[in-house]
């Protein structure tokens, strides 16, 4: 990758672009990170930027993105602006030689995401998707357990992300909430998010002009299936994912700090009566009722891990664990979901998440 050589001991300089909802969290974690110097906060609302800067002990502020990108001392930028602005900001930053981390979703449409990924590759720079959930201790443990074969072959993924939430002005509930679940699936499943079609059903009972409740289903490899339920109208808040395997089933409950991850040695065993056949009419079904196990998890803020991974990918001149390509795979599913909605829920093909020369991370 292009750019200066960075020693492990030297800090990198980063500017946060956007001081709205997510920008203050990024600023706080970059300021606390041993890998980074928070060099600037950039926002068109200079008073808002100043409030964020004051909250982290004082940082230069500017309303000018061009000034940030022209500063040779700034190595990278972290973007926390609306999705529709990601494409032009990312391209300008990459052309200025800056490494980029961008909030989810990567872009507001797949074609723009493809251009961003290809420009980063051509310029030899890191483009990282800020899929924050993937850096929580719980999701990192889930990825480890699946990679080690602890669950066996994956049979299904069932995810629920519902709450009484803010109806967004520019996106529907799929584009607002589902990127979290899709990015987690892409991160933990062997081979990433490899769906070829998506079926999406949405409802707009409040007549807002966009789906406020949604259900998304995707067939995965080897006959497995993934299902995502997202909802802005639920009076109860649920953040849960169930991943079933041939050996064990895992439940992630993000709202249960005492036991975020539980592993159940329970399931269905299919013992074939006749060798060489998979016909269930010639099989005996038995139910396995074993122990439940909850792994111990370290307590660390996910964004601290995000900041550390961004620095490591730059120093080691490699793709980030949540690379631009992973963001593109999520975008591909979201765009297919929109296509399925237009077909009243009929399956819609998912464009390949890979650009030319890409491989799954």
At 359 the pLDDT is 37
Distance (Å, rounded) from C-alpha 10 to C-alpha 22?
26
Q: Give domain status of residue 347, yes or no.
A: no
Residue 277: pLDDT band (50, 70, 90) is low
Q: Give domain status of residue 342, yes or no.
A: no
Cβ-Cβ contacts under 8 Å for 2 (sequence gap 6 or more): 97, 123, 124, 125
Domain count, the chain: 2
Q: Which domain holds residue 192?
A: 134-293
**Same domain as 154, residue 171:** yes
**Same domain as 165, residue 110:** no
Evaluate if residue 242 carries a pLDDT over 70: yes
Distance (Å, rounded) from C-alpha 351 to C-alpha 110?
9
pLDDT digits (tens, 9 = 90+) for 127-136: 999 999 999 9
Q: Hey, what are 89's tokens?
A: 């900001």
**Same domain as 235, residue 117:** no
Share of the chain above pLDDT 70, in %: 91
Instruction: Average the pLDDT over 318-347 and give the result.
Output: 97
Instruction: Average the pLDDT over 236-248 and give the result.
Output: 96
The region of weakest confidence among 37-46, 234-243, 346-355 is 346-355
Instruction: Average the pLDDT over 312-338 and give the result.
Output: 97
Buried b (16+ CB within 10 A) or exposed e, 223-262: ebebbbbbbbebeeeebbbbbbbebbbbbbbbeeeeebbb
Residue 331: pLDDT band (50, 70, 90) is very high
**Helix, strand or coil, per DSSP, at residue 167:** coil
Q: How many angstroms separate the first and last alpha carbons of the chain? A: 17
**Helix, strand or coil, per DSSP, at residue 308:** helix
Average pLDDT, the chain: 91
Global confidence as pTM: 0.89
At 291 the pLDDT is 86
Q: Give domain status of residue 208, yes or no.
A: yes
Tokens 């990567």 sit on residue: 106
Residue 5: pLDDT band (50, 70, 90) is low
Which of 241, 272, 293 terminates a domain? The answer is 293
Q: Give domain status of residue 339, yes or no.
A: no
Choose among 113, 96, 87, 174: nearest CA to 324: 113
How many of the other CB atoms lie within 10 Å of CB of 149? Answer: 12
At 231 the pLDDT is 98
Tokens 């890979």 sit on residue: 354
Report whether 11 contacts 36 (CB < 8 A).
yes
Looking up residue 152, the CATH number of its domain turns out to be 3.30.360.10
**Same domain as 289, residue 145:** yes
Q: Hey, what are 93's tokens?
A: 């930053």
**Same domain as 265, residue 155:** yes
**Same domain as 138, residue 112:** no
Looking up residue 89, the CATH number of its domain turns out to be 3.40.50.720
**Same domain as 214, residue 171:** yes
Residue 329: pLDDT band (50, 70, 90) is very high
């Amino acid at each position: 990758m292009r750019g200066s050589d960075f020693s492990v001991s030297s800090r990198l300089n980063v500017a946060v672009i956007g001081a709205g909802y997510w920008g203050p969290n990024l600023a706080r974690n970059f300021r606390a990170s041993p890998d980074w110097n928070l060099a600037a906060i950039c926002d068109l609302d200079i008073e808002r930027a100043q409030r964020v800067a004051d909250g982290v002990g004082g940082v230069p502020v500017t309303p000018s993105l061009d000034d940030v990108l022209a500063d040779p001392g700034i190595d990278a930028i972290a973007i926390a602006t609306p999705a529709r602005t990601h494409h032009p900001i990312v391209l300008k930053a990459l052309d200025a030689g800056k490494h980029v981390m961008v909030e989810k979703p990567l872009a507001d449409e797949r074609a723009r995401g493809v251009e961003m990924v290809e420009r980063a590759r051509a310029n030899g720079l890191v483009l990282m998707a800020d899929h924050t959930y993937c850096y929580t201790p719980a999701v990192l443990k889930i990825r480890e357990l699946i990679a080690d074969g602890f669950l066996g072959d994956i049979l299904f993924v069932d995810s629920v992300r519902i709450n009484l939430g803010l109806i967004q002005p520019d996106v529907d509930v799929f584009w607002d909430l589902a990127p979290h679940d899709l990015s987690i699936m892409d991160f933990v499943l062997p081979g990433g998010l490899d769906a070829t079609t998506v079926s999406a059903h949405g409802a707009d009972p409040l007549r807002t002009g966009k789906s406020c409740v949604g259900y998304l289903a995707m067939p995965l490899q080897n006959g497995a299936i993934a299902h995502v339920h997202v909802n802005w109208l639920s009076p109860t808040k649920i953040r849960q994912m169930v991943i079933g395997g041939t050996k064990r089933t895992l439940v992630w409950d993000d709202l249960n700090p005492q036991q975020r991850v539980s592993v159940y040695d329970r399931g269905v065993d299919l013992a074939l009566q006749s060798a060489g056949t998979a016909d269930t009419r010639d099989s005996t079904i038995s139910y396995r009722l074993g122990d439940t196990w909850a792994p111990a998890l370290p307590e660390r803020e996910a964004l601290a891990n995000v900041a550390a991974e961004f620095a490591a990918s730059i120093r080691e001149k490699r793709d980030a664990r949540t690379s631009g390509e992973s963001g593109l795979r999520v975008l591909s599913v979201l765009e297919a979901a929109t296509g399925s909605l237009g077909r009243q829920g009929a399956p819609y093909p998912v464009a390949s998440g890979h650009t030319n020369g890409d491989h799954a991370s």
